[in-house]
Structure 1
């Protein structure tokens, strides 16, 4: 059951991350410059309500896999899955969050480009997390 819950958690996050990368962030440059700081702060508040539980679910299931690994679950895959979750959180905390804070002050195309690069890393990690979770379920 834990492996299935983990698969659901990482898949939900990956779907969220692909949506942000493909739909939300590309629209940032369409917001009028004067309105952008308020838009960005509203984005941060709203997205936190969605991503917070998704991060928590991944962290809990990843940690649980390490502490109480189901019988037959390869240790290496469990460690890889937990590592990917940790990297997503790290890239978010050290990359995306500071860039969003920079955008609080106003639109900056260079900061937005950096955010897109950081987000591409998160999309890759989220996708890898799904692959690992599928391998764990098999």
Structure 2
């Protein structure tokens, strides 16, 4: 039960973080003066990594633990759904969001910003679904 609670807390914290980034942080990028944008973006990357890194690591640990040592009475389906959601978040981050951030740290690029907003929509959906799956696993367990 403790593992399921910790897992839910981590997935919910990440989903809340991702919603904040999508609704508040990324839209504000367009308001940064172009001459200051590259430095702003590099600062954003450093600061965000301090928050998202532990949340990703914690979710990988709890998801792995749930897959390996499935708590008694916990159905496998929500654990698999949650693992799939985490895989989507990590893949989209590594393969799409990080390269877009690297492009933006060279300077403002409206097209890269639009693509980042789209990519981030996928992460928001996957993170939200991952939290729902974690709640389902906890409530069903």
* Bucket of the pairwise TM-score, normalised by the shorter protein: over 0.9
Q: Who is 2:55 aligned against?
A: 54
Give the Cα–Cα distance (whole angstroms) in 2 for the partners of residues 51 and 3 of structure 1.
20
Quote the offset at 1:74 in angstroms: 1.1
Structure 1 segments unaligned to the other structure (5+ residues): none
Q: Secondary structure of the equivalent of 1:30?
A: coil
**For residues 94-113 of structure 1, what are the structure 2 equivalents within 5 Å?**
94-113=95-114
Equivalent position of 2:131 in the other structure: 130
Q: How many residue pairs end up in the alignment? A: 138
Aligned partners of 1:71, 1:97: CA distance in 2, in Å? 38
Per mean C-alpha deviation after superposition, the further-off stretch among 121-130 and 68-77 is 68-77
Cα distance in 1 for residues equivalent to 2:54 and 2:131: 17
Tell me the residue number matched to 2:68: 67
Calculate the TM-score normalised by the size of structure 2. 0.96
Match of 2:31 in 1: 30
TM-score by length of 1: 0.98
- Would you identify which runs of 4 or more consecutive aligned residues in structure 1 move more than 3 Å? none
1:77 deviation in Å? 1.6
Structure 1 residue 114 and structure 2 residue 111: aligned?
A: no
Which consecutive unaligned segments of at least 5 residues does structure 2 have?
none
Displacement of 1:81 in angstroms is 1.0
CA RMSD of aligned residues (A): 0.6
CA distance in 2, matches of 1:108, 1:72: 50
Structure 1 position 25, deviation (Å)? 0.2
Query: Would you say 1:89 and 2:90 are equivalent positions?
Result: yes
Partner Cα separation in structure 2 for residue 75 and residue 32 of structure 1: 49
